[in-house]
Structure formats: C-alpha cells, structure tokens
Amino acid sequence: MTAIAPEPAIRAWRDHDPQARRLPGMSLGPLAGTAGHQDADRLWDLGVRHVELDAPVDLSATHPAAQRAAIDRLRLVRDLTARAVSVDWDLEVSAKSPQRSAQEWKVLSHLHPPRTLTGLDDAAQALHAWRTRHYVCKLVWRQGPGFVQIRDRRWGDLRRFTADEPRYQDAIALLDAGADRSGVPADVLEEFTSEHLVLCLGDLAWWLPYRVSRWLQEAMAV
C-alpha cells in the first residue's frame, strides 16, 4: 500500500530580507500543494524569494505517511535551494537510530540551512557549521548529451561522478521525488547510497543532488 501524505504548504514572500518582508505587498500569504520542480518554477515566477515550511522535516519518523511527508518537504527545500530561494524550515533527526549518525547533517548540507536542528548531541555546533559553510551548487547534477554528471563538495573537496548508462538516468528519474527502494535496480541504488547521493527513509529512497541547467560559474570552479 502506498503511503499518502498531505502536500506541503508554505508561506511565501517576495524578498529574502526580514525587514523588506514587512513592507506592504511583500507577502504572498499561505500557498498549498507545492512540491517538485514545476512548483518551484511556479513559485519563482510568482516572485517568491523566501519561504517558510508548514511543519518540521522529521527524519526520525517511522510511519510511512510521515516518512513520505518528510521526503516531500525535503524535495521542496532542495528545489528551492537550487533557485537560491531561502527557506525557513526545521529539521528533526535521531542519532540513536541505526540508520542515523551524528554526521547526517553533512549529507543534507547542500540544502539551505534549517532554522532549527534537533536530535543530535552537538546540534548547535552542527547547525553553526551548516550555516557558515553553505553555498549554492554544493551538490549538483546535470544532464549532458548521453551522460549524467554529479559534482559534490559537501565533504570539503570536489568529488565528481559521471555515468553514461541509460539505467542511471532512469534511476535518477525514479528517485527524484522519492521512490520505493524495491523499484530501483539494486546495484545502482547501492552505488548511489555508498556515495551518499540518496537518502533512505523507511522503504523510500530520495535523490539528494539538485539539478542545474547551466553552471553559475565556470565549470572548473563549481
């Protein structure tokens, strides 16, 4: 049975700056049904530059519907981060879970930093590091002519991966919104997991990198 979760809702503004957001006409109010690339594009076209999520992202969730909701919210944060839209969101993790570690924040450190981080013994230190070391294009992928390339700087150095087999592209298409792990070729999923390119939550696996259509700097500098 497929878990069904409500689509994430947001509050949106036309500017990043907190003072500017208080001015008349800067608030777009609450918006519903926002998840995925098309919705992120729609928000950008509306003039949205800052977003507040309706609920925390809970990576300690055990119920399938709650896990689906967590992935949907992370997906929205990822796609808005790709457009340099700032996001107020809250992250809850559990370092005591067998699938979690105290360094899990680094796996997500390419996303816009959360407002709060709970569940880690050193949560305040981790959140400070996330905020001070974050920049756009820290973990990205692009579709080239007959290949997929991923560039990862979450760990301090540049790690680059190139795949030219169609099944990798097919797997990314499945994982982009979060897919049941059983529907993804096991060897491909294992490769992605070993490189920390997917996040597994329950039976779901979700693609972490966000897509770029062109580099913001020269390709060698990204």
Q: Is the pLDDT of residue 122 over 80?
A: yes
Residue-averaged pLDDT of the chain: 87
Whether the pLDDT of residue 94 is over 90: the answer is no
Q: Are 141 and 149 in contact (CB under 8 A)?
A: yes
Residue 200's pLDDT is what? 95
Per-residue pLDDT tens over the stretch 157-208: 999 999 999 999 999 999 999 999 999 999 999 999 999 999 999 999 999 9
C-alpha radius of gyration, the chain, whole number:
17
pLDDT, residue 63, reads 95
Return the pLDDT at 175: 97
pLDDT at 8: 74
Does pLDDT of 1 surpass 50? Answer: no
- Report yes or no: 210 and 204 within 8 Å, Cβ to Cβ: no
Contacts of range 11-16, beta carbons closer than 8 Å, 24 or more positions apart: 11/51, 11/52, 11/54, 12/43, 12/46, 12/48, 12/50, 12/51, 12/52, 13/48, 13/49, 13/50, 13/51, 14/47, 14/48, 14/49, 14/50, 15/49, 15/50, 16/49, 16/50, 16/86
- The β-bridge partners of 86 are 50
pTM comes to 0.89
Q: What does the pLDDT read at residue 185?
A: 96
- Give mean pLDDT, residues 78-106: 79
For the beta carbon of residue 14, count every other beta carbon within 10 angstroms: 16
Among 32, 27, 28, 29, which Cα is nearest to 9's?
Answer: 32
Give the range among 11-15, 35-39, 152-156 with minimum mean pLDDT.
35-39
What is the DSSP track for 137-162? TSEEEEEETTEEEEEE-TTSS-EEEE
pLDDT higher than 50, residue 92: yes
| Ranges of each domain in the chain | 7-135, 137-222
Nearest residue to 16 via CA among 55, 50, 63: 50
Percent of the chain with pLDDT over 90: 73
Confidence at residue 33, expressed as pLDDT on a 0 to 100 scale = 55
Q: What pLDDT, on the 0 to 100 scale, is given for residue 39?
A: 81
- Please report the pLDDT score of residue 101 as a whole number: 56
Q: What's the average model confidence in pLDDT over 133-139?
A: 94
pLDDT of residue 98: 42
